[in-house]
A = this chain, B = another copy of it.
Amino acid sequence: MKVLITGGAGFLGQRLARKLIDKGTLRLQGGDWPIHQIDLLDVVAADTLGDARVRCLVGDIADPQVLRSAISRDTAVVFHLAAVVSGQAEADFDLGMRINFDASRALLETCRTLGHAPRVVFTSSVAVYGGALPATVRDDTALNPQSSYGTQKAMAELLLADYTRRGFVDGRVLRLPTISVRPGRPNAAASSFASGIVREPLHGEAATCPVAPDTRLWLLSPRRAVEALVAGCELDAAALADRRPINLPGVSVSAGAMVDALREVAGDAVASRVAWQPDERIERIVGSWPGCWDTGRAERLGLCGDEDFRAIVRAYITDDLTASTQ
């Protein structure tokens, strides 16, 4: 069977592909199915990771023709990671609608035509919540997005649930905490700093934190995110019942405590490279996301987060920093 990863050139798509190569099979409907092919679809050419099973597809994810060529009868699983990030979706409403909503819809529609209800693992976001929130956010807390990104993700979640209910696909929605520490360079996500204030100092560079030290974030390491994507894919449909979205367990930590953890792990000199420079636009978006969560359902389903933020910093040093400096 074949696996498609949209956003396959992105860092999460690449790591997921690596994980699937190493794993070799996916547990679906009671059996372990060998993965014969992994298609990485993206707007730029993805690294095929030196494995003959990996195929790179370049195209516009919102183009139904591209999707039809990427999804075929032997596609059993789709990991739909492709998205325009929050800051970009807020700056360019039409682009966000096209990639975050229209492309998701076209992908579901293409899967529907297969007739065998492929598994679709859709990554959503804490940005579907907002406004006056309960003290603790749960999987079934009301969606009330305060950004176009969150709105587009929430609409796609609802659509995926209906496609699943109708038997067009077997969908799973994993609401990812903010991924930290992302490797590479800053991006247009409002939460980009949540990686930058650790990554840049560890690389000897200055970083600015655009939110107040007491702003709470909800974080997950790339390592745990990839594990959760695979586990979410392998979950029995019966265990999910009529609630397809799952909030993944994260670490709830303030921006100030993040820098403290960086200091603990990497020392004063590194932590002192972070400057505090509030940016109202980013504070408004990030501040509308909840800080406190009940992720008991995810944990009962076997989806795990990181131990604490120090563990996240250490995971970055092991998985990325050491690799990139070798």
Contact = CB atoms under 8 A, between A and B. Distances in A.
B143 A243 contact: no
Interface string A273-312: 0000000000000000000000000000000000000000
A151 B144 contact: no
Given A131-B243, A144-B242, A161 B165 contact: no
A92 to B, nearest CB: 12
A142 interface: yes
Contact of A145 (B132, B148, B158): B158
A296 to B, nearest CB: 15
Contacts of A141: 142
A155 B130 CA distance: 16
Contacts of A159: 151, 155
A172 to B, nearest CB: 16
A269 to B, nearest CB: 43
Contacts of A130: 242
Interface of A: 93, 130-132, 140-146, 148, 151, 154-155, 158-159, 161-162, 165-166, 242-243
A124 to B, nearest CB: 13
12 contacts: A130-B242, A131-B242, A132-B140, A144-B242, A144-B243, A145-B158, A145-B161, A148-B162, A151-B158, A154-B158, A155-B158, A158-B158
Copy count, this protein chain: 2
A160 to B, nearest CB: 10
Contacts of A146: 165, 242
Chain A interface, DSSP helix/strand/loop, else mixed? loop
Interface centre among A130, A155, A161, A166 (most CB of B within 10 A): A155
Given A242-B131, A243-B131, A143 B158 contact: yes
A258 to B, nearest CB: 28
A127 to B, nearest CB: 12
A95 to B, nearest CB: 14
A148 B243 CA distance: 15
Contacts of A165: 146
B154 A144 contact: no
A217 B225 CA distance: 43
Contact of A144 (B140, B145, B148): B140
Contacts of A93: 166
Nearest to A138: B142
Contacts of A162: 145, 148, 151
A166 B242 CA distance: 32
Contacts of A143: 142-143, 158
Nearest to A112: B93
A135 to B, nearest CB: 14
Nearest to A90: B166
Nearest to A149: B162
B142 A166 contact: no
Nearest to A243: B131
